[in-house]
A and B are shown apart, each in its own frame.
Chain A
Amino acid sequence: GAVVSQHPSRVICKSGTSVKIECRSLDFQATTMFWYRQFPKQSLMLMATSNEGSKATYEQGVEKDKFLINHASLTLSTLTVTSAHPEDSSFYICSATARGRFTEAFFGQGTRLTVV
């Protein structure tokens, strides 16, 4: 399978600051990347879909000004949590795919964000 790398794996930040999470496809060009969020003991919820070179599509209820997504190249997407608050503390995980090449999406290792 293809490899998706997510960085950092764990981050602690102060309330009010911004945090950037990177998602890279290491051995393929990802036409589409996804960002999910997972609260403790709950399942993954899709936050947004990003296609290279275009604006991300956010799911209902997800604040686009709060969670900035940039998919500037075919191998990199970033999620920036702006003005983080303790309620933003969660596990964030990305996935990437190349439609027409893969029938599945490949997941990063996830990022544990703690806002204090």
Chain B
Amino acid sequence: KQEVTQIPAALSVPEGENLVLNCSFTDSAIYNLQWFRQDPGKGLTSLLLIQSSQREQTSGRLNASLDKSSGRSTLYIAASQPGDSATYLCALDTGTASKLTFGTGTRLQVTL
């Protein structure tokens, strides 16, 4: 059974800092990996999707990497802003019709 862990569980940084969120998974047989953002009481916003054959994806200030052999993905956020404050979730698609296994989440707070 795929288990997905995110470290740290919570993180507080001052505005402008670069930061890295970590996602670890136990089964490397994945179809793709996605990073989502969730604001309190809201749904999910997809940030980046990395296919199994890819090593990284970039969108604006966000960069996500994937290392299947070590069972890890990282989400790098450059020049953090207060508007980045949210919970970040990684999710793995094991290839069974887009059924996702979600990580435990990292709650990020960017302070002024």
Contacts and interface: CB of A to CB of B under 8 A. Distances in A.
Interface of A (DSSP majority class): strand
Interface string B91-107: 10100011111111100
Contact of B103 (A43, A49, A97): A43
Contacts, number: 62
A75 to B, nearest CB: 16
A32 B97 CA distance: 7
B100 A103 contact: no
Contacts of A34: 98-100
B32 interface: yes
**Chain A interface bracket (under 10, 10 to 19, 20 to 34, 35 or more):** 20 to 34
A109 B42 contact: yes
A99 B42 contact: no
B42 A110 contact: yes
B24 to A, nearest CB: 14
B83 interface: no
Contacts of A7: none
Interface stretch (B11-19, B44-52, B65-73): B44-52
A49 B44 contact: no
A45 B98 CA distance: 14
Contacts of A46: 99-101
A32 B98 contact: yes
Given A44-B91, A104-B32, A104-B49, 10 more contacts: A31-B97, A91-B41, A93-B43, A95-B98, A97-B98, A99-B98, A105-B100, A107-B44, A107-B46, A109-B42
Interface of B: 31-32, 34, 36, 41-44, 46, 49, 51, 89, 91, 93, 97-105
Interface of A: 1, 6, 31-32, 34, 36, 42-46, 49, 51, 91, 93, 95, 97, 99, 102-110, 112
